[in-house]
Amino acid sequence: MPWVNVEDLEETIRKHKIVIADFWAEWCIPCKAVEDLLRRLEAKLSIKGLNVIIARVDVEENPEEATRYGVMGLPTVILFVEGEEKMRHTGGPAGLERKIMKAINALQGG
């Protein structure tokens, strides 16, 4: 599962079927925990055979992207499927994996 740092999230979403957008900042301690969780989740999603892109958006370098996607707190993770927002989570990693897997399983019909 590729990880990309993006300046134009809209283009990344348009090019790929499934995108997990991770809005973060260097100073944000919970952001590091979310990044670790997403890295662990890579294996689970790869086993499912899904081509998922994790797009990391540094809100300090790309504040316009945070505004465009209505990010009000950090970290914020948004799952996009075929350009449509399917899941949003703001805050630390608690419950995030469950939310992502629930959305992915719904996508796969189970």
Of these residues, 19, 31, 52, 104, which one is catalytic? 31
Of these residues, 13, 21, 28, 41, which one is catalytic? 28
Q: Would you call 91 a catalytic residue per the annotation?
A: no
Q: Would you give the distance in Å from CA 45 to the centre of its chain?
A: 13
Cα separation, 105 vs 26, in Å, equals: 31
Q: Would you call 28 a catalytic residue per the annotation?
A: yes
Cβ burial of 59 (10 Å; 0-12, 13-18, 19+) is buried
Cα separation, 92 vs 29, in Å, equals: 9
Q: Which residues carry out catalysis?
A: 28, 31
